[in-house]
Amino acid sequence: MIRRAMVAIGMGALVAAAVRLRGSGVAPPRSGGWRELSGPGLD
């Protein structure tokens, strides 16, 4: 019984660690680039 509980806790910790490390990010931009702001209105 104790062994089963320990295994379950261990598995839970592993899954939690994996989820925490993986996170839930969104897709990155696939096109575009940065341009310095310029002009009288800094557009």
CB of 15 within 8 A of CB of 9? no
Q: Pick the closer one to other proteins by CB: 1 or 41.
A: 41
Q: Which of 2/26 has CB closer to other proteins?
A: 26
Q: How far is the CB of 22 from other proteins (least distance, A)?
A: 8
- Write out the two tokens for 25: 């990010």
Report the alpha-carbon distance of residue 39 to residue 41 in Å, rounded.
Answer: 5
Shortest distance, position 12 Cβ to other proteins, whole Å: 18
Q: Which is nearer to other proteins, 7 or 19 (CB)?
A: 19
